[in-house]
Structure 1
Amino acid sequence: MKIEYLGHAVVHIEDQGFKGIIDPFLKGNPGCSRSPGDFKELDYIFVTHGHSDHIGDTLELARATSAKVVANAEIIDYLRKQGLENLHAMHIGGKFQTDFGFIKMTPALHGSGISHQGEMLYGGSPGGYLLKVQGKKIYHAGDTGLTMDMKLLEEEAVDVAFLPIGGNYTMDIEDAVRAVSFIRPRVVIPIHYDTFEVITADPEDFKCRVKDAEVVVLSPGATYEL
């Protein structure tokens, strides 16, 4: 499995029979050197919530690749009204079996409004994703504060967890370290930091504090083989 970090909360995953991207905020993402046109093939697009730095370039990517978009029901309704058809609606706690494994939507403490033509539309509940892809388990927390629900993920034996560390809108380093102790993944990769000044954080500080997992710090554009 090849995991590519594209800055902010964007994670691109490729494995045998699977090509997916989570929260495809490409244009306007200062840490991302990729454009939507670089992605010729995608099977799935996962959207954690409706904020513009997460729903990002979903429409353009979905139209170009015919990828299935997975999101909460309210975001799916919005995307359907924009002309997309290959859609799959979920909600918190829901689990769906797929040909590559499964998708489960996990709780997140955040907002989910969708910016549209100068207005903020209701975007349902924010979430994260627990994915099982060809036997490997990946947890993307989305934008969230620390939650006790994360303790339940310890039973899932997560291989790689993507956790926000930037603070202000999400967990900061201190709370992300607590989250690692709750989840106990094999590997943790910090995300959602340094995109904007208000979420400046030092991933090496996070790495030094974590005792319960291997921390892999990826610069935007770097990859990790699982």
Structure 2
Amino acid sequence: MVVDGVAYDGIEFSHPGHASVRIESEGVVVYIDPWRDVVDGEPGDADVVVVTHDDDDHYDPDGIDAVSNDATTVVAYEAIDTSDLGRPVTPLAADATVTVHGLSVEAVPAYNRADGDHVDDDGNPYHAVGEVVGVVVDIGDTTVYFPSDTDFLDDHRDLRADVVIPPIGGTYTMDRHEAAALAEAVGAALVLPVHYDTFEAIETDAEAFADDVEARGMRVELF
């Protein structure tokens, strides 16, 4: 069943669309990768915006402006050229952690393997090493993991997270099978899939994904 929003341990998760996610806990609002195509007209209520890489469906100045106000803190992966943003940015280095509004935001590896399935016609990974980070956000006692555009990597097996928000569309990211395995590997209690069905290349069977995740003993909700 598709739902509008999901509650977990006092945290509210909603999905404007594609890879954009809104998280609210105790009055603090976080958006991850807000994209103008799905957040246009949002109320400008973000306390924190986190950006994982410079693909235009993830780093989008118009999308950031749509969810932000004058007091919003933008945390962006340091490899992104944010000179066109027009607002201050807190850089997030690979393997680093920053603390904003009482939240810990940690960068974790994210890329497509050169020997994997998610490469272009010339054999180049759609997302090479160093171009993307995933983020682990600690909100109170809850750990939220947003892998971003990546394969399921060996590095991810060392992570632990209560809530995982994985891409499942394949082509440019892990597919639904890899995403289910990732969620199980990190010990997720709740799985919220994103980055699928926006366009033909990332169409997938979300209901089959949900069945797979539930069979592994985890709660899953389809936004």
- Using the size of structure 2 for normalisation, the TM-score is 0.80
1:69 aligns with 2:74: yes
Q: Note the residue ranges of structure 2 that are not aligned, 5 or more in a row.
A: 1-10, 114-129
Question: What is the CA-CA distance between 1:66 and the residue it aligns to?
Answer: 3.9
Task: Give the aligned residue type for 1:170.
Answer: T
1:25 aligns with 2:35: yes
1:96-142 CA-partner distances (Å, limit 9, x unpaired)? 2344231101110149xxxxxxxxxxxx6201110011332111111
Q: Note the residue ranges of structure 1 that are not aligned, 5 or more in a row.
A: 112-123, 219-226
Q: Which has the bigger relative contact order, CA under 8 A and spacing at least 6?
A: 1
Question: What is the CA-CA distance between 1:73 and the residue it aligns to?
Answer: 1.5
CA distance in 1, matches of 2:86, 2:35: 18
Equivalent residue number for residue 5 of structure 2: none
1:144-200 CA-partner distances (Å, limit 9, x unpaired)? 11101111113xxx2210011100000111211221221111101111100011100
For 2:105, what is the secondary structure of its paired residue? strand
Are the aligned partners of 2:34 and 2:64 in contact in 1 as well (CA < 8 Å)? no
1:192 aligns with 2:198: no
For 1:55, what is the secondary structure of its paired residue? coil
CA distance in 2, matches of 1:25, 1:203: 21
Equivalent residue number for residue 3 of structure 2: none
Structure 1 moving runs of 4+ over 3 Å = 61-66
Question: What is the CA-CA distance between 1:83 and the residue it aligns to?
Answer: 5.3
1:95 aligns with 2:97: yes
Structure 1 or 2: larger helix share? 1
1:20-169 alignment, distance < 5 Å:
20-27=30-37, 32=38, 34-35=39-40, 37-56=41-60, 57-61=62-66, 64-75=69-80, 78-79=81-82, 81-82=83-84, 84-110=86-112, 125-154=131-160, 158-169=161-172
- Using the size of structure 1 for normalisation, the TM-score is 0.79
1:11 aligns with 2:21: yes
Q: Say what the alpha-carbon RMSD is for the aligned residues.
A: 2.3
Are the aligned partners of 2:45 and 2:67 in contact in 1 as well (CA < 8 Å)? no
Identity of aligned residues (%): 29
